[in-house]
Amino acid sequence: MKTRKKGYGILLSLTIIITLAALWTIVPQATASKVCLIGYKAHCTFTPISTIVCLLLAAATCKIRKKKFTT
């Protein structure tokens, strides 16, 4: 069985949370006050930009996790 260092689980959890946040930004919401940049009422009014930023942050944490905790 492979033993992982202490911070591996924290970074894995952070990656999952950020990825779920990226998915949450594109969810349609009829009660939204403004139309997003794509043209529909989404949970986040900056939908394409915020989704890309979240996915880039998830990729960065994934890369850090791989670099620091994989031998």
Structure confidence at residue 49 (pLDDT): 93
Residue 1 confidence class, pLDDT cut points 50, 70, 90: low
Q: What is the pTM of this model?
A: 0.83
Report pLDDT digits (tens) over 2-41: 677 788 889 999 999 999 999 999 999 998 889 988 889 9
3-state SS, one letter per residue, for the chain = CCCCCCCHHHHHHHHHHHHHHHHHHCCECCCCCCCCCCCCCECCCCHHHHHHHHHHHHHHHHHHHHHHHCC
